[in-house]
Amino acid sequence: MLENDMAMFKLQLKIALKEKMVFFYTLIIPIIMVFINKGPSFRDNEVLYLYWAYIVVTTILNGFLMNVIQLRENGFLKTLSYLAGSRFSVVMSSFLVQLLIIQVEILLFNLVVTIFITPVSPWTFLYSFLVSFLAVFLCAAMLSGLLILKVKQNTFTVIINLFLLIGIFLLGIRPQRTWNYFLTVFNPFQLIYGLYNVPYTTVAFGIFEGTCTFVYLVMGFFIFDKISIKSQLSRV
């Protein structure tokens, strides 16, 4: 069983590394944006959290969810699930690959910031590494609802592009008060940013963020447990 899981992980890793364009959206764009937006305020860790959130959300969208959609539409999800013995193994291997990629991307991003803009402390490096584990799980859980939509791959690509545009726009925005609570519930970028930013928030907002995290994790568990392996084309 372990050998099958390792083989599936290696297969998913090869698939992910072939998608070179994805890395442009998930890593190169935030690096470009950080040079455009750099200023005196960049010494504040809260600014870094915006970019970490962008990397997490766009990688989950372009990497994990798009991979699952493509496998399902091509009929490979059903085939691989049969070969691996369960769809859980296929989906989880894809998720773990993207988790690894996100950790590497955030590490590289922090190194670029340290070398060219302002030093990032070792504690911040460690914080990004540890919190990103929960951030990736939370983001995948929140966006898992997209997998139950009866849309084809082309439509899903349009949805992802919209999220990317929103993400780039939100890199320079910090909503306050009611608007902040609203976006935390419905906007994955704001939800993940809020998770990273918990040490700097009020107790009330920390509780609110924790509640959202719990709800989305539970929701994601049930959605991934019931995810269909059949192509949308075969269900039309």
Domain ranges of the chain: 2-235
Band of pLDDT at residue 98, cut at 50, 70 and 90: very high
- Give the pLDDT confidence score for residue 236 in this predicted structure: 43
The DSSP annotation for the chain comes to: -HHHHHHHHHHHHHHHHH-HHHHIIIIIHHHHHHHHH-SGGGGSHHHHHHHHHHHHHHHIIIIIIHHHHHHHHHTHHHHHHHHHSSHHHHHHHHHHHHHHHHHHHHHHHHHHHHHHT-PPPHHHHHHHHHHHHHHHHHHHHHHGGGGGS---HHHHHHHHHHHHHHHHHHTT----HHHHHHHHHH-HHHHHHHHHTGGGS-HHHHHHHHHHHHHHHHHHHHHHHH---S-HHHH-
Residue 235 pLDDT greater than 50, yes or no: no
pTM of the full structure: 0.90
pLDDT in tens, 144-193: 888 877 667 788 888 878 877 776 676 566 667 787 888 788 888 889 99
pLDDT in tens, 34-87: 888 777 666 677 889 989 999 999 999 988 988 888 888 877 777 877 776 777
Band of pLDDT at residue 228, cut at 50, 70 and 90: low
Residue 109 pLDDT greater than 70, yes or no: yes
